[in-house]
Structure 1
Amino acid sequence: MTHPGHAAHAAHSSHDADAQHDQVDILDLDAEVLAEHIASITAWLPVKADPRHIVDLGCGTGAGTLALLTRFPDAHVTAVDTSAGHLDRLREKAEAAGLADHVRTVQADLDGDWPDLGTPELVWASASMHHMADPDRTLRQVHDTLAPGGLFAVVELAGFPRFLPEDAPADRPGLEERCHAAIDHHHAQQVPHRGADWGTKLAAAGFTVEGERTVTVNMGPPHPEAVGRYALSSLTRMRGVVAETLPPEDLDAFDRLLDTDSPHSILRRADLTVRTERVVWAARR
């Protein structure tokens, strides 16, 4: 007989494992669908010479790491994340791309003791700075870690991607916008640094901001099959955040979109788009 506490722990571990798998899946899909946009950001970076050592802070499953190695094939990347699962997946992808010798992974919580990251010429932080408990402290630590004249690239998302037309779904038009309003409210309480003025923060940490760029993503049909899976994964994750604030009619319509066996499934829609923005700041030490 299983001890009830063990059963609860096993169920909790299983839930954590599922959440971790979902997170890995969504990061991989994000990298696949938006690869061209990530490449355009790495191409824009105002580096003075190709960096030999790059640090990717909050690397996830490696979208930035692999894009940076495509742009700077002779570099070595130190990829840092709190999640062992993310780093495992990154190593798999680096090996598959023949880049394992160019990647070192470091599991660390950047809100805690700062790991030894050497003296990189380029530090990249994509969608990670707003998660820091004290981002101003992190910015100062990046400044002190960078080689003199080195570059810090901060990439932030302008909110959650949008996928549906405004009049969709037919039975609950405007559903996605109502979900965005709910998620914005949630983030304002739970993730206070999302949407911060990173240019001002970078200057306060001693950097010279050399460039700021907004990359607008607007991918209409026809598009690769991965877009449907990206929308499904993204909206499934969104549902977990907004479920308690949506009226039952909206939640029912949402669940029909997420039901892959339903005729209303998001995977069956031919009118999906991917609409979002990313803002990048390039700051020099």
Structure 2
Amino acid sequence: MTHPAPRPTGHSHPAAPTAHGNHGHPAPGQGAALPDGLAEMLDLDAGLFAPHIAGLTGRIARLARGPVTRVVDLGAGTGAGTLALLERFPGARVTAVDTDPDMLARITATADARGLGARVRTLEADAGAGLPGVEDADLVWASASLHHVADPAAALAVVRAALRPGGLLAVAELDGLPRFLPDDAVPARPGVEERCRALLDAVHAEQVPHLGADWSALLAAAGFAVEEQRTDRLALSAPLPEGAGRYAHLVLGRIRAVVEDRADPADLAALDTLLDGGPQDVRHRGDLVVRSTRATWIARRPAA
């Protein structure tokens, strides 16, 4: 899950770039190891925004027609979505799909540890190429994963074929990495976070062009009926949940790695003061706010 060399339906996670400027996973077929801290960052994101995820799964449950027993988590990452879906739909079995076997092994271990192993199947696959053995699903969940696909139309056709008539597809996307600090967080370099974010957005425009796509139009073109669309602007402020400072540190560290060759050296130095353990470090600031914009679409494969 996160953002440079985009990987089709990778992990379910927020935009979390690696030093290459993508989302934090290797390109398909490279088999590279996950960047340090990525799994932790994904789990922290899921914990911090758990109420948002619970709200989305609740809306899906209200739109479902009949029982939800066959679920696909597309780009499952560390399995946060899989676990949320198992909780929301206690009669369901979830197929967790990802291109990274290490992530899938992690999901299996977590499910087994929680006594849920019998309800979880893993599938190493790229949805852009097909989902072997997946059919008649009641629900496909794609959280922060579809923007990685090289060809959205082809991927949506695969998803549509995997759903039963009347089944639902839930797409959740972000506008990029969360924001954390006021403009004057580093008095000597006001606005440093926004300037680095602008540089990161330029990288994403080059390497992850479907980030921020109009999924309403893409879903309609693929033969889905969009039944709900909404955008939530989330903000977590003091008292912050546990892990918020560590989350900010991991995300800003990845931003720094991506923009290192593009940013003004003075901005890099200012960013370093937010990461170096000193008095301005994000892990113990009182002015930290975790802001994230998350868009969701719930669409149905028509019954006819």
Same-fold call, TM > 0.5?
A: yes
Counterpart residue type for residue 253 of structure 1 = A
Give the number of the structure whose residues are more often helix, by fraction.
Answer: 1
Q: Alignment partner for residue 40 of structure 1, among 44, 55, 61?
A: 55
Identical counterparts, % of pairs: 51
Matched, 1:280 2:296: yes
What is the RMSD computed on CA atoms of the aligned residues?
1.3
SS at match of 1:239: helix
In 2, distance between residues paired with 1:50 and 1:156?
Answer: 26
In 1, distance between residues paired with 2:297 and 2:185?
Answer: 35
- Structure ID, larger Rg: 1
Matched, 1:220 2:237: yes
By how many angstroms is 1:85 displaced? Answer: 1.8
The count of corresponding residues between Structure 1 and Structure 2 is 268
Aligned partner of 2:100 in structure 1 is 83
In 2, distance between residues paired with 1:50 and 1:40?
Answer: 18
By how many angstroms is 1:38 displaced? Answer: 0.8
By how many angstroms is 1:25 displaced? Answer: 1.4
Aligned partner of 1:259 in structure 2 is 276
Q: Displaced runs of 4+ in structure 1, greater than 4 A?
A: none
In 2, distance between residues paired with 1:229 and 1:50?
Answer: 39
By how many angstroms is 1:231 displaced? Answer: 0.5
Gaps of 5+ in 1: 1-15
In 2, distance between residues paired with 1:172 and 1:92?
Answer: 45
Aligned partner of 1:175 in structure 2 is 192
In 2, distance between residues paired with 1:150 and 1:125?
Answer: 14
SS at match of 2:37: helix
Q: Alignment partner for residue 53 of structure 1, among 38, 57, 70?
A: 70
Aligned partner of 1:268 in structure 2 is 284
SS at match of 1:225: coil
By how many angstroms is 1:277 displaced? Answer: 1.2
If the length of structure 1 is used for normalisation, what is the TM-score?
0.90
In 1, distance between residues paired with 2:293 and 2:169?
Answer: 20
SS at match of 2:164: coil
By how many angstroms is 1:141 displaced? Answer: 1.1
Deviations 1:159-188 (A, max 9, x none): 210011122122211111101111111111
**Is this contact kept in 1: 2:128–2:158, CA < 8 A?**
no
Gaps of 5+ in 2: 1-31
**Is this contact kept in 1: 2:168–2:300, CA < 8 A?**
yes
If the length of structure 2 is used for normalisation, what is the TM-score?
0.85
